[in-house]
Amino acid sequence: MFIALIAATAATLAPAPLIKMAIDKGIVPGDLTQLNIAVAAFIGFALLLWATSAVQTYLVGWVGQRALQDLRVRIFEHLQTLSIGFYSRKQSGVLVSRMTNDVQALDQLVSDGIVTLFQATLTLVGTVVILLWLDVGLALISFIIFPLMVGASLAFRIASADAYRITREKIGAITSYLQETISGVRVVRSFGQEPRHVAAFSELNDQNRVANLKTVYLNAAYFPAIELMSAALTVAVLVYGGFQVIDGSITVGVLVAFIAALNTFFDPIGQLSQLYTTYQSGMAALDKIFELLDEEPDLVDDHRAPALPRINGAIDFEGVSFRYGEDDAGAWALRDISLKVPAGQTVALVGSTGAGKSTLAKLVARFYDPTVGSVLVDGHDLTKVRASSLRSQLGIVPQEGFLFSGSIRENIAFGRPDATDAQIADAAEAVGADVFIQEMSAGYDTEVGERGAQLSAGQRQLIAFARALIADPRILVLDEATSNVDIHTETKIEEGLRRLLAGRTAIVIAHRLSTIRSAGSIVVLEHGRIVESGTHDELIAAEGAYWRLYRDWATQAVA
């Protein structure tokens, strides 16, 4: 690329000396041989410029696109390492903007900016040498403009730095709001809030317009000023050089060549000035990207941490307390939890909203580490083993079954890409999903749409069950997993789960009586503490917190 760049720069600088040669050695004395040589040289350098520019353009694109590809992959890889807590703090639309808008803003800087920097600099240096070679006096007059240009460039740099940073923030806010609104379009429609969302989106775009117009105003003031300076300098050279030609101090060829070289002189200055605009926009985007890449995951495996071996599934909470965030004044989500779950047992976690049930399950999956105490699986402290080795033996079904765009087959096999068609069908049959799948025209090849929009909530949940079960997890976490299915479907799921949970540890968070009663042990949480534990019959007989919850659920079920 740089070889082609140097050759192209040499071809760009050739016209001025060739003009002097054509006029002073060919046209003025009437020497056709010299004129023919000059014309032939013009053609040769034109062909050289064409060939080297073509090669340079291709190679610049080749390098630039691969650099941007590497950057996108690097950002995506980094996002995969960040903890669940990071995603609860950051809007997904902003992250999408980093991957799309900000990386795209670097395209011009990476693909053209570096080449423009070197080519314009070489052209400027070469032009200065040619101007001095043609006439030192005219060259010194031309160089007077340098302090003015430097001063204007510094003023432009100071004024535009914040403007370009703000434009990146505004486009990120637009992308974030757009993503959130589209994801929640059903809620927007349900409450008839389309006008309010349109107004809010219009306001964000208005702010983006104002931010971008500031950069437009700066460009409108700076670049025409540079053009005016170049025009004034050309006039000064024509006046001074014209008198010198009349006096016989210089030849006509020198003056014409000097004017031609001046165009080459101003072009790289304009390119470097425009490059600074590109640089400001690109660096504003790069700052946002580096800010993202500088994010450290909350949970980092020790490089010496071993992989968790094949587990039986015994879970032990030893004096566990936990709070979200790093603020010491934050409320405790869990306090003094000590709980042993034998391998193969199904444990139901019950309690009111905010009691800490989901937090307890997240600690088992090591989405977070305890603030105090330890969580052990088969005697292994989870903070001292690789998280990936734990999650590869863990299956989680949340309240809302999230599906990826693609077929039913691909979604079921998500956690086990090498699963055979027979294994996929067996998993679907085990949870009762095979009935509705077989009724579809494309069967397991049916496209589910974005987030599974082509399926009902219950169907999505059944697919999520099959996806968890086909991965053959040693520990299964069900977080309100049957809340979106009807009683008939729930009964079919439970029939399959009774077969498939044999030999596995299961932590079930549920409010439905049928799900809770079948658990081997029930743990009652209140305000982050365990207040009761035991079997259904034991807790009913105790007439404590569980008995009160059970009575309320039974009353609601009858109602």
What is the rounded radius of gyration, in angstroms, for the C-alpha atoms of the chain?
Answer: 36
CB 383 within 8 A of CB 374: yes
Q: Looking at the domain assignment, is residue 300 inside a domain?
A: no
**Per-residue confidence at 533, pLDDT binned at 50, 70, 90?**
confident
188 plus 243 within the same structural domain: yes
For residues 413-422, give the mean pLDDT: 86
Which of 293, 326, 352 corresponds to the end of one domain? 293
Residue 250: name the closest of 428, 56, 445, 24 by CA.
24
Distances (CA, A) of 360 to 132, 323, 332: 78, 11, 12
Interstrand relation of 475-479 and 529-534 (parallel, antiparallel or unpaired): unpaired
For residues 393-408, give the mean pLDDT: 80
286 plus 321 within the same structural domain: no
Q: Looking at the domain assignment, is residue 303 inside a domain?
A: no
Which tens digit of pLDDT belongs to each residue from 335-344? 998 989 888 8
CATH at residue 433: 3.40.50.300
Q: Looking at the domain assignment, is residue 307 inside a domain?
A: no
- Is 157's pLDDT higher than 80? no
pLDDT at 174: 83
- Is 559's pLDDT higher than 70? no
pLDDT at 513: 66
Q: Looking at the domain assignment, is residue 299 inside a domain?
A: no
Query: In sequence order, what are the beta bridge partners of 396?
Result: 477
265 plus 379 within the same structural domain: no
- Is 558's pLDDT higher than 60? no
DSSP string for residues in 373-434: EEEEETTEEGGGS-HHHHHTTEEEE-SS----SSBHHHHHTTT-TT--HHHHHHHHHHTT-H
Q: In angstroms, rounded to a whole number, what is the distance separating the alpha carbons of residues 462 and 227?
A: 68
Which tens digit of pLDDT belongs to each residue from 219-273? 787 778 777 887 888 888 888 888 888 888 888 888 888 888 887 777 787 777 6
Q: Looking at the domain assignment, is residue 238 inside a domain?
A: yes
Dihedral angle of Cα 459, 464, 466, 467, to the nearest 10 degrees: 140
359 plus 222 within the same structural domain: no
Q: Cα angle at 162 between 157 and 166, to 5 degrees?
A: 140
336 plus 274 within the same structural domain: no
pLDDT at 51: 93
Rounded percentage of the chain residues whose pLDDT exceeds 70: 89
pLDDT at 461: 80
Q: Cα angle at 417 between 414 and 420, to 5 degrees?
A: 115
Q: In angstroms, rounded to a whole number, what is the distance separating the alpha carbons of residues 107 and 404?
A: 29
Residue type present at position 347: V
Domain count, the chain: 2
Q: In angstroms, rounded to a whole number, what is the distance separating the alpha carbons of residues 20 and 75?
A: 54
Which helix (H) or strand (E) segment holds residue 440: the answer is none
For residues 102-106, give the mean pLDDT: 79
288 plus 400 within the same structural domain: no
For residues 62-73, give the mean pLDDT: 85
DSSP 524: E
pLDDT at 79: 84
411 plus 282 within the same structural domain: no
CB 522 within 8 A of CB 546: yes
Q: Cα angle at 439 between 438 and 442, to 5 degrees?
A: 70
pLDDT at 515: 66
60 plus 25 within the same structural domain: yes
**Per-residue confidence at 329, pLDDT binned at 50, 70, 90?**
low
Q: Where are the alpha helices (DSSP H) in 431-483?
A: 434-439, 457-470
Domain membership of residue 80 as a residue range: 2-293
190 plus 256 within the same structural domain: yes
Poorest-confidence range of 40-54, 148-162, 483-497? 483-497
Q: Where are the beta strands (DSSP E) in 268-402?
A: 315-322, 334-341, 346-350, 372-377, 380-381, 394-397
pLDDT at 265: 77
CATH at residue 108: 1.20.1560.10
Q: Looking at the domain assignment, is residue 301 inside a domain?
A: no
For residues 204-228, give the mean pLDDT: 82
pLDDT at 40: 93
CB 405 within 8 A of CB 455: no
Query: In sequence order, what are the beta bridge partners of 340?
Result: 316
pLDDT at 554: 63
Poorest-confidence range of 121-130, 187-196, 334-343? 187-196
Q: In angstroms, rounded to a whole number, what is the distance separating the alpha carbons of residues 207 and 205?
A: 5
pLDDT at 44: 92
For residues 47-70, give the mean pLDDT: 87
**Per-residue confidence at 498, pLDDT binned at 50, 70, 90?**
low
- Is 68's pLDDT higher than 90? no
Q: Looking at the domain assignment, is residue 215 inside a domain?
A: yes
- Give the max Cα distance, the chain: 121
439 plus 358 within the same structural domain: yes
**Per-residue confidence at 47, pLDDT binned at 50, 70, 90?**
very high
Burial of 537 (0-12, 13-18, 19+ CB in 10 A): exposed
- Is 42's pLDDT higher than 80? yes
Which of 262, 293, 324 corresponds to the end of one domain? 293
190 plus 252 within the same structural domain: yes
155 plus 69 within the same structural domain: yes
Average pLDDT of the chain to the nearest whole number: 81
- Is 76's pLDDT higher than 70? yes
- Is 54's pLDDT higher than 60? yes
- Is 50's pLDDT higher than 90? yes
Q: Looking at the domain assignment, is residue 417 inside a domain?
A: yes
CB 243 within 8 A of CB 123: no
